[in-house]
Each structure stands twice: as structure tokens, then as C-alpha cells.
Amino acid sequence: MTTDRLQLWEQLKLEGLASGGLGAAPDSSPWYVSLMLGVAAWVSALLALLASVVLLHFSVGEQFGLMAVLWTGSGIALLHAARTAGAFVAQLGLVAVLAGEGAAIAFFALQTEALQPTLLFSVILLLALLPLLPSATARVLNTLGACTCWVLLVSWALLGEPRDWRDAQTPGLGLALLVWALCWLPVLGAALAIVANETQWMARSAAPLLRALLIGLLVALALATPLSNPLAGLLIWQGGAISDGSRSWLALWPLLSLFTALIAAGLAFHQRSRSLLAVCLFGVLLHVGHFYLQLGVGLLVKSLVMLLVGAGLLLAARYGRRPEITEARA
């Protein structure tokens, strides 16, 4: 318990907002521990699924269904037990939950043999499990997964699957904007609503869930372009500008995503989370680079745009409102 916590508690008591002794601080992990555990659990779960296919020769839906129920159930139980049993049990539970979710998605995919219903099922499953998972890392991973599946569902449903994009006519401005808005405005709206109503929910039992949800949403917003169009987003050097004179309004996506990443950065700053802010600023750089490559104009125009934007930003920094640091209020 730090002096700051105690001082804060004493101040609350002085103002009549608190009474009695301060309870123990909740256990929380530094961001890099969560990152390491999350990555290790995710890879473990994928390999466990692969092992069940190759070694146990799982091939029919029922086998994956049984696996999904067993693993997800035991994973949730382990995550609950980990509150007293420690970090190792928590990691075991996380791997079991992730593998169980993967098995459930495989089960549904084998039953329906259709991509878009499977994506919709994934969104519903990942969001429905959120309240049952007592681990912040599991909740963040589920939120990120649900956002990715949602974006793929909407964009593939309205534009067709990426393998057809090269042959299909590129969408018009209206459709490109509509698809992007349907993909990302709900995510942005949810993040803004959570932050705007922070004081309403922080004393409630849903607070840990909403905190994890917010982290997942902000990471998704920061990395919107590669998530919404993985092939073009990750392989930006292959995306390229249209060189035959035709116009693809999909090139606007990274620009729009740039603005959402900036808003996400603002929300991360508002939450005083430096690690989230770093992710969002990385996302901003990614979107600028992506838009630069996608923009089908000459190098001269691009350079002039950069010079104008740069000059504008420098003028804003020079003549913008000067900070007047006022000392602490309490």
C-alpha cells in the first residue's frame, strides 16, 4: 500500500466520502507481463488445437464441440480458482479458455461450412464469454478478437471476400465510407461511451470488465487498418496505388483509421495509460504509412501535402494555446 493511496483515502475521509480502513489494493500485472502471458497463451492454444487435429485426428464437428465445452468450462473454473491459486493456474486457465473458444469456432465452421455465419458466431461467442471470464488478459484478447471478427464480417459481407477483390469492381465512395463506418463507428462509440460514463460505473462490480473492454477497444481502434483489411494492412507494399487511372475509394480507409487512432490516443492519454498511448501512436504511424502508399497521386503532390501538413502542425505547436501548469488542487 503506497503513501499516495493512504493520503488519498484520508482525503476522502476528510471530505466525508469514506470511512473505516482502506482495503487491500487489487492485484494487477504490468502491461509487459500481460503481453507476454497473452502471446504465450494464444500460441499455446493454437498449437493445442492443431495437435488435436493432427494427433487425435479430430475432424468432425462433435469432437470439436465436446472439446469446446470441456476446455472452456475448465478454463473458466481455473481462472476463478487462480484468484487464490496464483499466476500459473491463471495461465493454464487462459490457455484452456482460448483453445476452447477456438474449438467452438471450429465446431460451428464445420457445422455450417460458411465463413460469414462463423464470423458472426465468433463475435457473439467472444462477447458473451466476457462477463464469465475473471481475467483481464482473457477479456482484452476476447474484445480484440470480437472486433476483428466484426470488421471482417461487415467488410466481407458488403464487399465480398478479399480473394474476389482483385477481380471485382472497386467500391464507390459511398459504399467505402458506409462499410468503414459500419465496421468502426460502433467500436469507437463503445469506447467513447465507456470513458464518458467512467464515474457512473467505477464503483460497480462491472468496473473490471469495462476496464478490460476499454483496453481491447482502444487497441482495436489503434490497429484498425490491418484488422479491417488484414491482407492489404499487413502487406502494404503489395496494396499499392491504383496505377491504371481508376480510383479505389478503399484508399480512404487508412485515413479514416488515422483519425480513429488519434481519438484512441486521446482516450488513452485521458486514462493516463502510457502503454496504450504508445500502441495508439504506433497505430497512427502505421496508418500514415499505409495511406501514403495507397494514395494514388504523384510523389510531388504527396511531398507538398506533407510539407503543408507539417507547416500547419508546427504553426499550431508554436502559436497554439500555451500550457499554464497550475499546481495540484488538493
Partner 1 sequence: MRARGLARSGLDAMAAQVGLDAAGSARLLELAQARPAPAEWDAALRQFAQIAGVLAVGFGVVFFIAANWAALSPGGRLWLVQILFAGSIALALWRPSPRLLGRGALLLAFIGAGVLFALFGQNFQTGADVHELFQLWALLGLPLVIAARWSASTAAWLLVANVAIALYCGWLPGQHPLWQALGLLDDDAAALRLSFGLWPNLLLWALAEAGAARWPALDEAVPLWLRRLLLLVALAYGSIAACWVIVDSDGLAAAVLPPFLLACAGIVAWALHRRRDPLPLFAVAAAAIVLVCALLIEAVDDEALLAILPLWLLLASGSTASVLLPLARRWEGESHDH
Residues 61-100 that bind partner 1 (CB under 8 A): 86-92, 95
State which residue, 114 or 316, has the beta carbon closest to partner 1.
316
- Considering only 131, 189, 240, 310, the residue that binds partner 1 (CB under 8 A) is 310
State which residue, 35 or 120, has the beta carbon closest to partner 1.
35
Residue range at the interface with partner 1 (CB under 8 A); choices 122-130, 143-151, 158-166, 316-324 = 316-324
Question: Interface residues for partner 1 in 205-234 (CB under 8 A)?
Answer: 205, 207-208, 211, 215
- The reply to whether 263 sits near partner 1 by the rule CB under 8 A is no
State which residue, 168 or 285, has the beta carbon closest to partner 1.
285
State which residue, 98 or 146, has the beta carbon closest to partner 1.
98
Question: What crossing angle do the helices spanning 31-54 and 136-159 adopt, rounded to 10°?
Answer: 60
- Considering only 73, 158, 275, 282, the residue that binds partner 1 (CB under 8 A) is 275
Question: Interface residues for partner 1 in 161-200 (CB under 8 A)?
Answer: 198-200
Q: With beta carbons less than 8 A apart as the criterion, state whether 43 and 86 touch.
A: no
State which residue, 167 or 327, has the beta carbon closest to partner 1.
327
Taking the C-alpha atoms of 241, 244, 250 and 256 in order, what is their torsion angle to the nearest 10 degrees?
50
For 185, residues 6+ apart whose C-beta sits below 8 A from its C-beta are none
Question: Interface residues for partner 1 in 8-37 (CB under 8 A)?
Answer: 8-9, 11-12, 15, 17-19, 22-23, 25-34, 36-37
- The reply to whether 243 sits near partner 1 by the rule CB under 8 A is no
- The reply to whether 282 sits near partner 1 by the rule CB under 8 A is no
- The reply to whether 57 sits near partner 1 by the rule CB under 8 A is no
CB of 266 to partner 1, least distance (A): 9
* Nearest alpha-carbon partner for 67 in 111, 40, 99: 99
Distance CA 126, CA 135 (A): 14
- Considering only 172, 173, 235, 274, the residue that binds partner 1 (CB under 8 A) is 274
CB of 21 to partner 1, least distance (A): 10
- Considering only 161, 204, 235, 247, the residue that binds partner 1 (CB under 8 A) is 204
- From first CA to last CA, the distance across the chain in angstroms is 20
State which residue, 83 or 270, has the beta carbon closest to partner 1.
270
Cell numbers placing 142: 476476447
CB of 115 to partner 1, least distance (A): 26
State which residue, 99 or 149, has the beta carbon closest to partner 1.
99
State which residue, 63 or 118, has the beta carbon closest to partner 1.
63
- Considering only 57, 163, 166, 318, the residue that binds partner 1 (CB under 8 A) is 318
